[in-house]
Amino acid sequence: MADPMKIRATLQGDVADVRVLMAHPMETGQRNDAAGKPVPMHFIQTITAQLNGRTVFAADVSQAVSRNPVFAFKVKGAKAGDKLSITWQDNKGDKRTDEVVIGAGS
Amino acid sequence: MKQALVLGIVAAVAAFLWLPAAAQVTDPTAAEFDKFREIMEQDNPAELFEVKGEELWRARRGPKNASLEQCDLGLGPGVVKGAYAQLPRYFADADRVMDAEARIVHCMITLQGFKYEELAKQPFSSLVRTPEPVSLVTYIAAHSRGIKIAAPQNHPKERDAYETGKAIFHYRAGAFDFSCASCHGVDDKRIRTQPLPNFTKPEQAILAVRGWPGYRMTGGVMHSLQWRLNDCYRQQRFPEPGYVSETLSALLTYLTVNANGHVYRGPGIKR
């Protein structure tokens, strides 16, 4: 069900500037649907980024984050050709992993 | 005396040059939104739909279990790059002028075996669902980023579509006795804080093309031009136009041809 992410990783020296767009409804649980019924919570809980298999970034996320969110962070010690994979998991157990090779264009 | 005359001419030229520019900048609200849009464009969630659209383009789907890679968008089967900038155009196989979404729906029907009735049932994006043609249009549109709009006017039916579109644009009717031109046919109109572009002028007609398909931040929904025009009809209290109908292709031909020569910036972001 989960749709692909869009990951951009550009190198500046040995620092990779990573920007990732994730497709997710990020329901807060506070909204009602057209029929007036509350829409159940559905949001990303954890995000991890791995550089060549080593975890370099981990985050716990709440419902306060917007729909289809953008995350940006920097990774030190990266070089062209490194594999960067990003994984999110939501409160329903749904998850998605996407991978890019740094320096291979956006 | 001579000097004064020259000065007068310089002043007149300056005033002439300054006026149109000033008309664009005098609206501080619009300037703020432009700034906001510029920042948001760097990470436009429309790209998510672009990626999704690409997946859909390549996947073997539908009753015929075929991909869309043989779909001819006007530049030959499977050619995506630059195709969006040259739509709407005439297609001999369908014997009509088609805009991007109309062509995609045509390909989904002919190549993949989908039914028009099913696709037209819920053609617009909602909080819970983005129809496949919307993602596909976003994918196609993204591959014309930075390319000049050049909707053709070579075939008689393309010229016909332009004239029909122009007539629709100026057609006043409905409970409000409105036409598209009532709001978009004169300079410096606005609704609430939003300035309304005059689509009869080339430099403003591009605004009807440039931001679409667009990601609407209110609600986080991806919308296509089919949705936008449908909403224009609703706002005018006109009967609902048929999804990917010739009527809408004609109206889009009129708007796009007016914008010819201006650079398309890819899928946009809306507030």
Could you read off the pLDDT of B167-220 as tens digits, one per residue? 999 999 989 999 999 989 998 888 887 888 999 998 899 988 988 999 998 778
B16 located within any domain: no
- Closest-CA residue of chain B to A3: B52
pTM: 0.83
**φ, ψ (nearest 5 deg) of residue B83:** -65, -40
**Does a structural domain hold residue B25?**
no
Of A4, A19, A23, the CB nearest to B43: A19
Is B216 in CB contact (< 8 Å) with chain A? no
Which residues neighbour B54 within 8 Å (Cβ) at sequence distance 6 or greater? B139
- Domain membership flag for residue B5: no
B94 touches chain A (CB under 8 A): no
Asked if the Cβ–Cβ distance from B52 to A4 is below 8 Å, we say yes
Chain A residue numbers touching B219 (CB-CB < 8 A): 67
Can you tell me which residue has the tokens 């993602």?
B135
Give all domains of chain A, ordered by start, each with its CATH number. Answer: 6-101 (2.60.40.10)
Contact indicator for B196, B27 with CB cutoff of 8 Å = no
Question: pLDDT tens-digit profile of A40-70?
Answer: 999 999 999 999 999 999 999 998 998 999 9
B219 phi, psi to nearest 5 deg? 95, -20
Q: Are A81 and A96 in contact (CB under 8 A)?
A: no
CATH code assigned at B56: 1.10.760.10
Residues in chain B closer than 8 A to A72 (CB atoms) = 43
Inter-chain residue contact A6 with B220, CB threshold 8 Å: no
Contact B48 A67 (CB under 8 A): no
| Tens-digit pLDDT profile for residues B230-258 | 999 999 999 999 999 999 999 999 999 99
Query: How many CA atoms lie less than 13 Å away from B206 in the CB half-sphere?
Result: 14
Measured between its terminal Cα atoms, the distance across chain A in Å is 24
Is residue B4 in some structural domain? no
From the CA of A3, how many Å to the nearest CA of chain B?
Answer: 7
Interface A:B, Cβ pairs < 8 A: 34
Contact status of B8 with chain A (Cβ, < 8 Å): no
Residue B106 pLDDT = 96
Can you tell me the ipTM of this complex?
0.75
Smallest CA–CA distance, residue A13 to chain B, in Å, is 22
Contact at CB, A3 and B128, closer than 8 angstroms = no
Task: Measure B52 CA to nearest chain A CA, in Å.
Answer: 7
Q: Which residues of A touch chain B, with CB atoms under 8 Å apart?
A: 3-6, 19, 21-23, 25, 66-68, 70, 72
Q: Is B232 a catalytic residue?
A: yes
Q: How far is CA A48 from CA A62, A94, B54, in A?
A: 14, 14, 25
Q: Which two tokens stand for residue B63?
A: 């009753």
Angstroms from A23 CA to nearest CA on chain B:
6
- The chain B residue lying nearest A20, using CA atoms, is B43
Domain count, chain B: 1
DSSP A42: B
Structural domain of B100: 31-270
Q: Are B211 and B149 contacting, i.e. CB atoms less than 8 angstroms apart?
A: no
Decide if B47 is inside a domain.
Answer: yes
- Mean pLDDT, chain B, whole residue set: 87
Looking at A3-17, A35-49, B127-141, which range is the least confident one? Answer: A3-17
Band the pLDDT of B26: cuts 50, 70, 90. low
Tokens of A55: 């975890």
Q: Hey, which residues 129-148 in chain B have their CB within 8 Å of chain A? A: none
Residue B196 belongs to some domain of the structure: yes
